[in-house]
């Protein structure tokens, strides 16, 4: 039971796609701050009015691009070798141990910037951007709890928040990646959970 849609030209999916693609490209090229709506319109070949008809702000476009999957981060696939410490370390390496790919870093900063100015898009955006990895991580930890290798005292989402939090913190402070850091972080978190 969809909309009655009484007359009128339907929304062009071509325009939507073109806008989101152009946004993805421009984000990579010039970054969030220097990306302008005029440039998105020019690059996508979509009229500015059409953009403003469907999105309320620059951050809303970015959020939509993330939600629609036009902007994707390489999936931090979370391994499951049975050894939590090794798995966590492997998962952390790209983010804090080795150089994060610049486009991922730029995107994360872009979203952080978008978030600071607008509560609503921020929520949706973080949810979508980190949701999948959050859940994968929580599932992995829960499995350890179920098998008795971890205590069941603490809310696992708190542990996950700490991991994502430290990633974000090091991102905005532009901390240098370090393998030792990944190891220390792993020890700390697993140590806290094992209690």
Partner DNA sequence: TCGTAAGCGAGACGGTACGTCCGGTCTTTTC
Partner DNA sequence: GAAAAGACCGGACGTACCGTCTCGCTTACGA
Buried b (16+ CB within 10 A) or exposed e, 117-133: ebeebbeebbebbbeeb
Please say whether the beta carbons of 16 and 53 come within 8 A.
no
Using the minimum distance from each CB to a copy of itself, give the nearer residue, 106 or 136. Answer: 106
For 133, the 3-state DSSP assignment is helix
- Name residues contacting DNA, limited to 15-54 (CB under 7 A): 15-16, 18, 34, 36-39, 45-50, 52-54
Task: Tell me the DSSP string of 150-187.
Answer: S-S-S-HHHHHHHHHHHHHHHHHTTPPP-HHHHHHHHH
Contact with a copy of itself (CB under 8 A) among 55, 76, 78, 126: 126
> Contact at 8 Å (CB) between 129 and 66?
yes
Shortest reach from residue 91's CB to a copy of itself, in Å: 16
Tell me: does residue 68 bind a copy of itself (CB under 8 A): no
Give contact residues for DNA (rule: CB under 7 A): 4-12, 14-16, 18, 34, 36-39, 45-50, 52-54, 57-58
Give contact residues for a copy of itself (rule: CB under 8 A): 31-33, 109-110, 112-113, 115-117, 119, 122-123, 126, 153-155, 158-159, 161-162, 164-170, 172-175, 180-181, 184-185, 187-195
């Amino acid at each position: 039971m969809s909309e009655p849609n009484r007359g009128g030209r339907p929304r062009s999916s071509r325009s939507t796609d073109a806008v989101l693609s152009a946004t993805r490209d421009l984000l990579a090229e010039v970054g969030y701050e220097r990306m302008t709506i005029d440039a998105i319109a020019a690059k996508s070949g979509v009229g500015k009015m059409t953009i403003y008809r469907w999105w309320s702000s620059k951050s809303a476009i970015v959020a939509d691009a993330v939600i629609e999957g036009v902007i994707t981060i390489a999936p931090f696939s979370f391994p499951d070798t049975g050894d939590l410490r090794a798995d966590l370390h492997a998962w952390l390496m790209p983010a804090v141990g080795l150089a994060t790919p610049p486009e991922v870093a730029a995107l994360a900063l872009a979203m952080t910037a978008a978030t600071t100015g607008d509560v609503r898009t921020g929520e949706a955006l973080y949810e979508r951007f980190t949701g999948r990895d959050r859940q994968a991580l929580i599932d992995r930890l829960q499995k350890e709890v179920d098998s008795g290798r971890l205590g069941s005292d603490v809310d696992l989402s708190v542990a996950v928040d700490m991991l994502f939090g430290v990633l974000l913190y090091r991102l905005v402070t532009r901390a240098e990646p370090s393998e030792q850091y990944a190891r220390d972080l792993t020890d700390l978190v697993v140590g806290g959970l094992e209690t």
